[in-house]
Amino acid sequence: MVAVVLAQAAVGGGGIMGQVFLFGSIILIMYFFMIRPQQKKQKETKKFIEEIKKGDDVVTIGGLHGKVSALENDAVILELDRGFKVKVEKSAVSMDFSKKTTK
């Protein structure tokens, strides 16, 4: 009788460990397919924004194409046409579209 109770406890414990393993596997898969790529993209975007320099051709997230004519603290002054300049935030410069225009 005691052996039967111990056997049932062992089976029940294995089920819980299986569930913990399954839950841990799901979290690991979510990390590698969702969280990690997003963190990598954020690092690349931050690096791109920090490396913007005078003379770069960029595109804003609003779709404006221009050349960087000056840099301020958190702003970029874009020259859209000869003599026509616009001041935008650095965060408004799109890494994705700027790379497409330079290739």
Domain total in the chain: 2
- Whether residues 20 and 60 share a domain: the answer is no
Question: Tens digits of per-residue pLDDT, 22-52?
Answer: 999 999 999 999 999 999 999 998 999 988 8
- Whether residues 42 and 60 share a domain: the answer is no
Sign of the CA dihedral with 45 first, then 51, 56, and 62 last: positive
| Beta strands 75-81; 84-89: pairing state | antiparallel
Residue 70 belongs to a domain with what CATH number?
A: 2.30.30
pLDDT of residue 3: 42
pTM beyond 0.75: no
In which band, very low, low, confident or very high, does the pLDDT at 6 lie, cut at 50, 70 and 90? very low
Nearest to 5 by CA among 13, 17, 20: 13
- Whether residues 60 and 81 share a domain: the answer is yes
- Whether residues 47 and 89 share a domain: the answer is no
> Range of 77's domain?
53-103
- Whether residues 98 and 57 share a domain: the answer is yes
